[in-house]
Amino acid sequence: SITLNDFSIEPSVQYYAYFGQEDAPNTAMVVALCSIPVLDAVSVFYDAEYDILAYNGALYNEFGIDANYGNERVTVENVLGIGAANTVFNKAYLDVSRNAISFVHWDCAITLSVGNNVSLRPHIEINKIIDTSLRTAVVNADNVTLGIVLTYEL
């Protein structure tokens, strides 16, 4: 990450593989996560994700609040945000040709350090699509995702 005073930018490239989903090609996103602390354990963030592979030009943005509590071994994180996407993103993923403030999002995770540069992150994520055109384009406009992320930092 790059830090200037308290302002932080975390650039990354994320690759998404959708195994067994022929209508969802693998893709990659260039990501910039910007944040600045507003209280001891609370930050305001802006996340921009730009597709560079399957849906080149698709842009997703999220603005929100991130609260982290914990120590070097265990961290609890809560994120509340609102997301927007451009026409290319919405057409690719929802077959709706419009820019939109898309959804509200809540994510809760516990990150466990399990060794040198290795961590596990079980999490729950709740999304609610708030744009009327996007809601009618999907079967379930409100969803819950459970997962575990294994991270190895180089």
pLDDT per residue as tens digits for the range 102-126: 999 999 999 999 988 999 999 999 9
pLDDT band at 136 (very low <50, low <70, confident <90, very high): very high
Burial status of residue 1 (CB atoms within 10 A of its CB: 0-12, 13-18, 19 or more) = exposed
85 class by beta-carbon count within 10 Å (0-12 exposed, 13-18 middle, 19+ buried): buried
Does pLDDT of 72 surpass 90? no
Q: Between 93 and 147, where is the model more confident?
A: 147
Query: 148 by DSSP, 3-state: which?
Result: strand
Q: Is the pLDDT of residue 144 over 90?
A: yes
pTM score of the predicted model = 0.77
Task: List CB contacts of 47: < 8 A, sequence separation 6 or more.
Answer: 31, 32, 33, 34, 60, 61, 62, 63, 81
Mean pLDDT, the chain, integer: 94
The span from the first CA to the last CA of the chain, in angstroms, equals 13
